[in-house]
Chains A and B, each alone.
Chain A
Amino acid sequence: MAKETEKDLDFKIMRSIQKGDMVAFNSMVDRYKDRLMNVIGRMLSSVEEAEDIVQETFVRVYQHRQSFNFEHCFSTWIYTIALNLARNELRKRKKFKHYDITEMNGNEIELAVEMKLPSRLPEAIKSAVSTLPDKYKIAFILRDVQELPYEEVAKILSVPLGTVKSRVNRARMMLREKLQPKLESYNALSKSTLLPVSIL
């Protein structure tokens, strides 16, 4: 029921945007900017580039506002635009390989040390998520972080529902494997004391 309300609110705002209401557009930006940033930021691993992609997404939404189909969810539409733009960006990166200047100095050993999981749990989680393959990572973030229903994730990724479920399950299992020692110690600690995640 809550999801229906969200959807209805999106439609209401979108109708106002189609009439040229910039205040409504601003409120739509406020609703989705951080959600998109969390998805695109995990994909691109660069805050500035992710922000550019999010901005471009909203520009596209504004430019093509009249072509929005009210038979589908607005969130599906905007996530699809954002993910397509992010994929294009990743494709460009593959064409033009960027070499880090630290790699030119022969610091491979130091880099390998840095790639180990950090000691604190939040950093460990972020690092573990960043090492997931893209297709599992996106499905996992959309489902478990953004809490979108499986059907919507399937529409956004243009894959069958079963594939989405499989990818999400696989991502959870991978994360469990990577984070098991950290999470076990966290569980052991949290049984006796109530500590916030940030200090673990």
Chain B
Amino acid sequence: MRCRKVRYYLSAYCNDEINGNVKISIDEHLSGCADCRKEEGVYRSLVLVKPVLSDMKVSIDFNNNLLNRIANERFKETRTKAFFPNKPPKLIWSKAIPVVVTACLIFVLGIMYIPSGELDVTSKITSNRSALDDSYLTVQPTNNPNMTIRMNNDWSFEQVLARTERINQITKNMTPAGSFSSSGTQLAGIKRNVQAPYDVNYFRYRPVIRIYGTPQPNPVKEGLGDY
């Protein structure tokens, strides 16, 4: 083996990384070559490199600093987990983009193909006016819930007057003046001798629910009256 080849292998040889025939050849060469032995001595001195290059040490409080930092990281992690216990789903754009595009297409096509009349809400309401509630046309006297007059097309004052007269007659027969006294369990009273049908106070007391307690015989007043 020549010097050049031996020197190529020399560093590996000095670090015991060569075995077999190559090692035997180098051994034979070194026994007879002073220059290569000198080289070998230099390579063997490179073992000094290891202790020299192993002298760097971390600072004394390295462990404390590190553990403090990890404790801070863990605290942050815990706090974040308390606010966000479940990891929010990650948006995958490759899946989201087709969905968004399809939704936009459906929206645009829908606008294009819907007849224009369907969207005209005002005209629809106007055309179906008769179907709507016309209760706003009803006039209700504030003092008389019974006197409900519907403002129909065939409304006439005579009809209303006749109806009122009928009610007046019926109520006059049913509740004659003086049929109820202030005594007893009468909850609502009726003014005596009220005959005028247009007296608001008269009509105000018509829809009365009377609740009686135990009937008390009143021989004086019972049986007396117009009927």
Question: Which residues on A are within 8 Å of B, measured CB to CB?
Answer: 22, 25-26, 29-30, 33-34, 37-38, 41-42, 47, 50-51, 54-55, 58-59, 62-63, 121-122, 125-126, 129, 141, 144-145, 147, 165, 169, 172-173, 175-176, 179-180, 183-184, 186-187, 197
The segment from B38-46, B147-155, B179-187 that touches chain A is B38-46
Closest A residue to B50 using CB positions: A145
* B36–chain A nearest beta-carbon distance, Å: 13
A176 near B11 with CB under 8 A, answer yes
Docked Cα-Cα span, A25 to B58, in Å, equals 17
Residue of A nearest to B42 (CB): A183
Q: Which of B56, B63, B69 has the most CB of A within 10 A?
A: B56
Known: A34-B58, A37-B56. Is A176-B42 also a contact (CB below 8 A)? yes
- Cα distance A62–B73 in the bound complex, in angstroms: 10
Contacts of A179 in B (CB 8 A): 42, 45-46
Contact count band on B: 20 to 34
Determine the chain A residues whose CB is within 8 A of the CB of B52 once the complex forms.
121-122, 125-126, 197
If the complex has contacts A26-B63, A38-B54, are A183 and B12 also in contact, measured as CB distance less than 8 A? no
Pick the contact of B63 from A29, A50, A144, A165 — CB < 8 Å?
Answer: A29
**9 A-B Cβ contacts within 8 A?**
A29-B62, A144-B46, A147-B50, A172-B43, A183-B41, A183-B46, A186-B45, A186-B48, A187-B45
- CA–CA, A5 to B160, complex, Å? 114
B53 interfacial by beta-carbon distance below 8 Å: yes
Which 4 A-B pairs rank lowest in CB-CB distance, beginning with the nearest? A172-B11, A183-B45, A41-B56, A125-B52
In the complex, residue of chain A having the shortest beta-carbon distance to the beta carbon of B45: A183
Tell me the bound Cα distance from A145 to B56 in angstroms: 12
Q: How far is the CB of A43 from chain B (nearest CB, A)?
A: 11
The answer to whether the Cβ of B59 comes within 8 Å of any Cβ in the partner chain is yes
Expressed in whole angstroms, the minimum distance between the Cβ of A26 and any Cβ of chain B is 6
Q: Is there contact, CB below 8 Å, between B53 and A126? A: yes
Q: Which single member of A26, A121, A187 contacts B42 (CB below 8 Å)?
A: A187
A-contact 0/1 string along B56-67, CB 8 Å cutoff:
111100110111
Q: Is the CB of B53 within 8 A of A37?
A: no
A147 to B55, CA, bound (A): 15
Q: A172-B11, A175-B46, A184-B42 are in contact. List 10 more A-B contacts (CB 8 A).
A: A29-B62, A33-B62, A34-B56, A42-B56, A54-B58, A129-B49, A144-B46, A144-B50, A145-B53, A187-B41
Contact of B207 with A by CB under 8 A: no
The smallest beta-carbon distance between B87 and chain A, in angstroms, is 15
For residue B50, which residues in chain A have a CB less than 8 angstroms away from its CB?
144-145, 147
**Are B49 and A125 closer than 8 Å at their CB atoms?**
yes
Contact pick for B51, options A62, A141, A165, A197, CB 8 Å: A197
